[in-house]
Chains A and B, each alone.
Chain A
Amino acid sequence: MSTASAHAHVAHAEHHELGFVRTYIFSTDHKMIARQFLFMGLIMMVLGGLLALVVRWQLAWPETAVPGLGGILKETGGILEPSTYNMAFTMHATIMIFFVIMPILAGSFGNFCIPLMIGARDMAFPFLNMLSFWVTASAGVIMLSGFFVEGGHAAAGWTSYAPLSAVPSYTGVNWGQNIWCISLFTMGIGSMMGSINYITTIINMRAPGMRLFRMPLVIWSLFITAILLLLALPVLTSGVAMLLFDRTLGTNWFKPAGGGEPLLWQHLFWYFGHPEVYILILPAMGIASEILPVFCRKPIFGYHAMAFSMIGIAFLSWIVYGHHMFVSGMNPALGMAFTVTTMIIAVPSAIKTFNWLGTMWGARMQYTVPMLNTLAFVSMFVIGGLSGIFMASTPVDIYIQDTYFIVAHIHYVVFGGSIFGAFAAIYYWFPKMFGRMTNVALGHLHFWPTFVFFNLTFFPMHIIGVGGQMRRIYNPMQYEFLQHQQWWNVFITYSALLLGLSQVPFVINFFWSLFAGKKAPMNPWNANTLEWTAPSPPPHLNWGPTLPTVYRGPYEYSSPESKEDFLPQTTPPVGAGGARRH
């Protein structure tokens, strides 16, 4: 495995105690599992990104040969057929959501941060943790295998609406869709193992003094994400099992011909799918709330409001899912109820945004690469949040449902939000994870073009969406009312290609820093939280013989108690023993 060889360099203390396989492959060390999840996510991101570019090429220059695909699509000489195009966008979304963002944010940073930031030596169930990674990785391999079966991979969209997905003849895809179901079923099991582990660890294994409301907000976000994962993913897992049975065993859950109900799939899918959106964004919110105070040198504004708004989002995320189904044929009276809840869920998001702004007020901001990515997260999330209000209003949603406006919205939330959050986290924790600093110049060379081309790619999608361009169409030029705005599609594709190119400095930086980066000190950012009291990278079991003791909250920056502008959570109060309150 390439991941294993890459890890050889950052190998650590336990190297001589455990063999190669137990250290790098079947490791139970949460930090190694975190690295494995990270590598898995980044490798899959390359594939997911390339698929997106293929989709973009087709939309800008329909039915022309896609450069580089001539060797793969031999029969057409590299020209995408409609069924191949459907497969490309289906797999782009499936891979990005399930095998990039979830493994990186929840999988990698969940594993890395939770024990280190609450002061535990490892996860509550290290073996289950290892199993969780390998089950998820198997799901990834199963998903990839779908590209090689006859009839191609799943092509019914990442939402796989039945009965299109339930009857092979409707798409012409047979095993591809089955493999899609099997892979997501497997992934669901892996994720359940992980979430049980996260919840148990956070509840039971906090260091002395680490009260719930002294936990860093990223831990709060991961805790809430784990609860959502535990309760939401099984719904998808059962849903895909039912879909697979419809396809292979002749059941009729979703097929009206046999008395089934197509809308049942949508209810199951979105009952999972809406919490899923928050599974993708909550960890990024946590990461932003973590990094912002460090580089503002200022306590987070409204710590409790931040924690409670995340709890609020988690509760509300169960009762808003119907807004995906306003025009689905669901009872319109239900649509009204979902409007109300959807409008309400915008409030905690607004609270978070204002608190981030509050944190920036009167700060002393250091524009490091992780900070730039965090600021990008905050600003892009604002746009993604505001565009969501259009959809919450049911009458407006009638028009923009299934248009590029929706595509723009999800990419502002999921790329502008989650991916910038992931980049911020990678740059921020890289020194702790791999023991080396990343290159600052390359970091800027990655961030600035990414930020610019991200906006040039996705903002115009709002415009063509308002113009009426539908999602998932193969060729906009087939429609007279879309022809006048085709130049936007060309513009977007150029931007997307440059956005893809902008990731090259990141790859170079990542691997160069992994092997040749400057050795990281224990606390390069002068941060307060517990992970910075362990060596970089932390050894097996994280700390020496004694675990850290926590005396204060995580964001005591520029506190009058200290001459320096930071005050680690482990610093005992002056005149020890007395004031425990903070």
Chain B
Amino acid sequence: MLDWWLPENVSTYGQEIDWLFHLIYYITGVTFVLVFVTMLAFIVMYRDRPGRRAKYTHGNTTLEIVWTVVPALILVILTILSVPAWSRIKMTMPETDFVVQVTAKQFNWQVTYPGADGKFGTADDKMLLDEMHVPVNKVVRVILKSQDVIHSFFVPQFRMKQDAVPGHEIRQWFEATKPGKYEWPCAELCGFGHSGMRGWIYVHTADEYGKWAAENLTAEAAPAAAPAEQPKSAAAEPKKEEKAKK
């Protein structure tokens, strides 16, 4: 019943996460039922009744070995299943030509598109506030930064979450599988405006996206205010190596 509450998944790796979630849900669910049924049975069977003495036993080595090895094996299997998925989601970066830069700040997501030249930090960069538009079935690379405190990029329907850390440039990716409008909250406490810090991610079909990009990302449509943020974020970037690489 817990899993009914999962929001609809619309990303490629979300399926893997949901599969693992369900697997763990059933394993822990069965364990829970077994332990509780045993416990309740013992509570009823072994209640204090006159004329009966408790068993005098200090333990049983075979049992100890069994209930050490069995959980250990289950956990080893879960680890083996978890690690490759983790590696695909967080440690590898699929090739893509679609890159956006997201800079979090109290209390907005600033989304930067590289513009026609495909480079960030140039005059034709396009900036949007609290909204991101992406095509469906396309790997989107996100370069995640923060201007002030730690925020967390969370899209429930994508099963995606990554903290944005000031001083770091963290590369992430997702691939949405269904067009729509998805809520994009901040998941890490970032100050008094944390609650309500959210944007929207619009997943368009390829055609629609092309239309949207033509209208909004071409030079003429660019709002003038955009480049103001650039020098600041460059200054906030210390000499450290990036932490999250491919």
A residues in contact (CB < 8 Å) with B:
81-83, 86, 155-157, 161, 163-164, 167, 170-172, 256-257, 259-263, 296-305, 327-333, 335-336, 339-340, 343-344, 346-347, 350-351, 353-355, 357-358, 360-367, 375, 378-379, 382-383, 386-387, 389-390, 392-396, 398-399, 401-403, 462-464, 466-468, 470-475, 478-481, 485, 557-560, 565
CB-CB under 8 A from A261, the residues of chain B are 167, 240
What are the nearest 7 A-B pairs in CB distance?
A: A256-B167, A362-B55, A474-B195, A468-B156, A302-B59, A386-B28, A298-B54
A365 interface neighbour in B46, B57, B83, B161, Cβ under 8 Å: B46
Report yes or no: A389 in contact with B28, Cβ–Cβ below 8 A: yes
CA distance A358 to B83 in the complex (A): 34
Q: How far is the CB of B147 from chain A (nearest CB, A)?
A: 10
CB of B35 within 8 A of CB of A375, answer no
With A and B bound together, what is the CA distance between A225 and B40 in angstroms? 31
Extra contacts besides A332-B87, A339-B79, A339-B86 (18): CB < 8 Å: A161-B149, A163-B148, A172-B191, A256-B167, A259-B238, A363-B46, A365-B48, A390-B25, A395-B17, A396-B20, A398-B17, A398-B160, A398-B161, A466-B2, A470-B187, A472-B194, A478-B198, A479-B185
**How long is the Cα–Cα vector from A305 to B64 in the complex, in angstroms?**
8
Is B60 positioned at the interface, with any CB of A under 8 Å from its CB? yes
Q: Which of B72-130 contact A (CB under 8 A)?
A: 72, 75-76, 78-79, 81-83, 85-87, 89-91, 106
In the complex, the answer to whether B165 meets A263 with C-beta atoms within 8 Å is: yes
Q: Report the separation of the CA atoms of residues A378 and B157 in the bound assembly, to the nearest whole angstrom.
A: 35
A332, B166: Cα distance in complex, Å: 18
A470 adjacent to B32 (CB under 8 Å): no
Contacts of A355 in B (CB 8 A): 59, 64
CB distance from B78 to the nearest CB of A (A): 6
B36 at the interface (CB under 8 A from A): yes
Residue contact B86 to A163, C-beta cutoff 8 Å: no
Q: Are B149 and A402 in contact (CB under 8 A)?
A: no
Min CB gap A264→B, angstroms: 11
Residue interface mask B178-219, A partner, CB < 8 A = 1: 000001011111111111101000000000000000000000
Chain B contacts to A: CB under 8 angstroms: 1-3, 5-7, 13, 16-17, 20-21, 24-25, 27-28, 31-32, 35-36, 38-39, 42-43, 46-49, 52-60, 63-64, 67-68, 71-72, 75-76, 78-79, 81-83, 85-87, 89-91, 106, 148-150, 152, 154, 156-157, 159-168, 170, 183, 185-196, 198, 236, 238-240, 243-244
Q: Chain B residues near A260 (CB, 8 Å)? A: 167
**Interface contact B64-A302, CB-CB below 8 Å:** yes
Question: From residue A144, how far is it (CB to closest CB) to chain B in Å?
Answer: 22
Within the complex, the shortest CB–CB distance from B221 to chain A, in Å, comes to 28
Least Cβ–Cβ distance between A38 and chain B, in angstroms: 29
Partner pick for B194 among A300, A358, A474, CB 8 A cutoff: A474
Chain A residues within an 8 Å CB radius of B54? 296-298, 362-364, 557-558, 565
**Which of A299, A331, A346, A387 meets B56, CB within 8 Å?**
A299
In the complex, which residue of chain B has the Cβ closest to the Cβ of A390? B24
The 17 sampled A-B contact pairs (Cβ below 8 Å) are: A171-B191, A296-B54, A298-B54, A302-B60, A302-B64, A304-B59, A327-B162, A328-B163, A332-B91, A343-B76, A343-B79, A347-B72, A392-B78, A393-B20, A398-B89, A558-B54, A565-B54
Among B6, B58, B161, point to the contact of A327 (Cβ < 8 A).
B161
Alpha-carbon separation in the docked complex, A259 to B106 (Å): 20
Contact A558 B53 (CB under 8 A): yes
Q: How far is the CB of A85 from chain B (nearest CB, A)?
A: 8
- A70 CA to B49 CA, complexed, in Å: 55
Q: How far is the CB of A332 from chain B (nearest CB, A)?
A: 4
Partner pick for B42 among A170, A256, A360, CB 8 A cutoff: A360
Q: List the B residue with the shortest CB-CB distance to A299.
A: B58
Residue among B67, B85, B192, B240 with the most chain A CB within 10 A?
B192
Q: Which residue of A lies closest to B63 (CB)?
A: A358
Residues from chain A with a CB closer than 8 A to the CB of B90 are 332, 335, 394, 398
Q: A357-B39, A367-B47, A389-B24 are in contact. Are A333 and B91 (CB under 8 A)?
A: yes
User: B3 near A402 (CB under 8 angstroms)?
Assistant: no
Task: Look across to chain A and name the residue whose beta carbon is closest to the beta carbon of B240.
Answer: A261
Residues of B within 8 A of A395 (CB): 13, 16-17, 20, 82, 85-86, 89
Across-interface contacts of A475 in B (CB, < 8 A) = 195-196
> Which residues of B have CB within 8 Å of A256?
166-167, 236, 238
**Separation in Å of the A353 CB from the closest CB of chain B?**
7
**Neighbour of B35 across the interface among A358, A382, A392, A480, CB < 8 A:** A382
Do residues B150 and A262 form an inter-chain contact, with CB atoms below 8 A? yes
Residue from A300, A301, A351, A361 in contact with B46 in the complex, judged by beta carbons closer than 8 Å:
A361
A350 to B196, CA, bound (A): 40
